[in-house]
Amino acid sequence: MRKLAFTKMHGCGNDYVYVVADRVRPADPGALARRLSDRRFGIGADGLIMLCPSTSADVRMEMYNADGSRGEMCGNGIRCVARLHYELSGGRKNPIVVDTDCGPKSIAMKLEGGRTVGATVDMGAPILEGREIPVDHDGRIIDFPLEVGGREYRVTAVSMGNPHCVVFVEDDSVFSLDVWEFARLGRQFEHHPFFPRRVNTEFILPLARNRLKMRVWERGSGETLACGTGACAAQVAAVLTGRADRSATVELRGGNLEIEWRERGPEAGHVFMTGEAVEVFTGEVEVGDAELVSAA
């Protein structure tokens, strides 16, 4: 048996197990993600994120959901990757560029008295063309009628490197659903044939022009306390449908994120997300000799 060091971190309650994979890495990261994510028989997390070497950025983020499936991007996770890399490298560089499956992202660490208290991520421009999100339809999907579970919803589709379906609600009834009812609803969206690569679904109640309340179902993980890319997608959808201004606070079950879809300047069109990156604890987990391979 061998020991694999890990760090448990979260952003607004969206928690992952982080492993530095610069020398050795899991032979089957998906299987390890399923094992470690179990909240009764493992560490407990929404998935596994590895910090890997990169030839084009400061570090590479490799992400696996709780069910073992590969994820392209995680907004809360990338803030934690940046903090962990920043601290492990001795704080030599800020901002940090993190390579992801949907391209490089720049993250500026927020420091107070030399301590990391959060980060701002340039998430890039949203993808709005249907086939590129992807959904099974051409053009933009804005307040689009979609039948799910025998009921018609108006959905807005956005990709922030991963696919999102944003559903605006008129009251807080969806926030009162129990875990099982919400899971049934979330799975109906996630596995709908309209979304060929499955989808993350955000239910959004606009509270004001600069405030949105959100409950989220993430593909591969189920309901989570927060979803950074989902909060960004919700803000973009709210602007596209005339429900919000360009900057807003998104209230998630695990905390708040500040989202801006920038309108002017050199980063016009990019979405910026600001939030916490919290270390919970560190530890080691036993793995079999065959479960680790050389990172090279």
Per annotation, catalytic residue among 80, 165, 227, 232: 227
**At residue 143, what are phi and psi to the nearest 5 degrees?**
50, 45
**How far is Cα 212 from Cα 174, in angstroms, rounded to an integer?**
14
Q: Which two tokens stand for residue 186?
A: 């979330």
CA-nearest of 260, 294, 286, 271 to 43 is: 286
3-state class of 125 per DSSP? coil
- Whether 232 sits among the annotated catalytic residues: the reply is no
8 strand-pairing partners: 17, 281
**How far is Cα 224 from Cα 243, in angstroms, rounded to an integer?**
24
Per annotation, catalytic residue among 12, 74, 165, 232: 74
- Whether 80 sits among the annotated catalytic residues: the reply is no
**At residue 39, what are phi and psi to the nearest 5 degrees?**
-85, -5
| Catalytic residue IDs | 74, 227
